[in-house]
Structure formats: C-alpha cells, structure tokens
Structure 1
Amino acid sequence: MQQLDQYQPQALAILRIMSSLLFIAHGTQKLFGFPGDGSIVNYMSLMGLAGILEVIGGICLVIGFKTRIVAFVLSGMMAVAYFMAHAPQNFFPVLNGGDAAILFCFVFLYLVFSGPGAWSLDSRS
C-alpha cells in the first residue's frame, strides 16, 4: 500500500476537482436552470446567493485558487444550508434530501486542512 502513497496529491486533486464540478452544477441549476427544468431562482434571494457562491466558489476550487479560504466558506455555507433547509424536514439526511449538503460540507472542510493537492494554482507559488 505504500506504493499508493506517492499518488496522494493527485488523488486529492481528483477529489477536489470532481466535488467542485458537481457543486458547480447545483449553482448553475439555481442560476440558469441547467441542468434541470429551466426554472431559476431570484438572484437577490438566499437561494440566489447560494447559487452565486456555488458557481464562483466551485470554479475557484476546480482550479485550486485560494483553496483553503474558499473551502472554509463553502463548508460553512453547506452546514447552514443543511440546518436551514433540510434538517427541519426530517431527522434522517437520506429522507430530508440533505445528504449531498452534508457530504459537500465535510469534503470542503477536509480541503481546509489538506490544501488543494496537485494540479492547482495554489501549488504553483
């Protein structure tokens, strides 16, 4: 298994990039109705702010720009989203639709402590 350790920075980068691309899709769905049914949220609402943070923050994480700061903000946003929108509906995340919010929250929290891994603007300095 030690042979796999050498690929840790690349594996972390893949986790960062793929999680961020999925996160961006949540934002584009809110802001542009894609993917989805074409309905969009009011940009001046909390959902609009969430969509803006999901797209802009997601792009920053995909390219690994200010990873720790952006991941901290997005992790907190997902924790707030879970407790505001999902937890009141049901105790169980799989029943309240909040499992993605929890997963994003903890993946982003991990990025706060781990950094971006390979293939990032942050690692170029």
Structure 2
Amino acid sequence: MPDFKSLPPIGLSLYRIVIGFLMACHGASTLTGFPVKPFSGHTISPTTWPDGIAGVLQLVFGLLVMLGLGTRISAVILSGTMAYAYFSVHQKHALLPMANGGEQAALFSWAFLLIAIVGAGPLAVDTLMKGTLRLPKPSKATAPGFE
C-alpha cells in the first residue's frame, strides 16, 4: 500500500508543473496565438513593451518552472511579472481583483511566490541533475484501514 508521506512532495511537483504549463501557454498565446487566440484577439510582437516582453518572460520562465530547471529564480521573476501586471494594469481600475479583472494576475503572482519559497519538489530537472531524488521511505506502520 502507498505511504501517504510521499504524497506532499509529489503534489508539490505536480502543482509546479501545472502552474508552469499554464503560464507558458499564456505566454505562447500572447506571442503566437497558439494554443488559443489571446484575449485581445491579436498576437503581440516580443519586442513590444510591456506586453510582448511579458509574453516572452511568461513563455520562457513558465517552461523552466514546468520542467523544474532554475525553478526558484524563474518563479521569482514570474511572481514579480504578475505583480507588476496587477499593479500597473488592473489596480488603477478598482481596488479588488474581482472588480478590476486582475484575479488571474494576482493568483499567478502568489502561486509563483509559493513555488519560489518551497522549491520544485522531487520531480524536477534540478533534482535529477543533483542526483538527490529521494522520496520518503515507506514506514512499516500503516494507518488503520490501509493495511
């Protein structure tokens, strides 16, 4: 039977992978229109300030977070990018994210800050490169009903 002590580290890795994937898709959509058209209806040049630069950061660092390569610094950069987007684009329209359309930016900013604080988890390229992939060993004692 599985040891439930190994689930939180794996859950952390899955959280990082999904959040990084979503951010990379957001950046790709902004720059290329793939996998879906951006909200604005048109793509943006990667050299356009600030939207194009943000799209490049979202795509590149989103992929790095998803892979778990340079995770903490990539997450800090993305957290700052999303905080900048919230305060420079959304905050001027209203105070609360629900009123100013900034929920996505606020959630991404806090999600990446969490990843920067707790790290990549065990299923990451950084972990594999260090050769430190160690999940907690199953204990001999099991919870009642899980024998």
Q: TM-score normalised to the size of structure 2? A: 0.78
* CA–CA distance in structure 2, aligned partners of residues 20 and 77 of structure 1: 14
Q: CA RMSD, aligned part only?
A: 1.4
Q: What is the CA-CA distance between 1:4 and the residue it aligns to? A: 3.8
Percent sequence identity is: 34
Amino acid at match of 2:37: G
* CA–CA distance in structure 1, aligned partners of residues 9 and 60 of structure 2: 24
Normalized per residue, the structure richer in helix is 1
Q: 1:47 is matched with which residue: 48, 51, 54?
A: 51
* CA–CA distance in structure 2, aligned partners of residues 26 and 82 of structure 1: 15
Q: Secondary structure of 1:100's match?
A: helix
- Aligned partner of 1:31 in structure 2 is 31
Q: 2:114 is matched with which residue: 80, 103, 110?
A: 110
- Over residues 33-71 of structure 1, what are the superposed CA-to-partner deviations in whole Å (9 max), with x where a residue is unaligned? 231166111321110100000000011011100101111
Q: 1:96 is matched with which residue: 100, 106, 125?
A: 100
Moved runs in structure 1, 4+ residues, more than 6 A? none
The aligned length equals: 123
Structure 1 gap ranges (5+) = none
* CA–CA distance in structure 2, aligned partners of residues 5 and 102 of structure 1: 31
- Over residues 59-95 of structure 1, what are the superposed CA-to-partner deviations in whole Å (9 max), with x where a residue is unaligned? 1011100101111111111111100011111112012
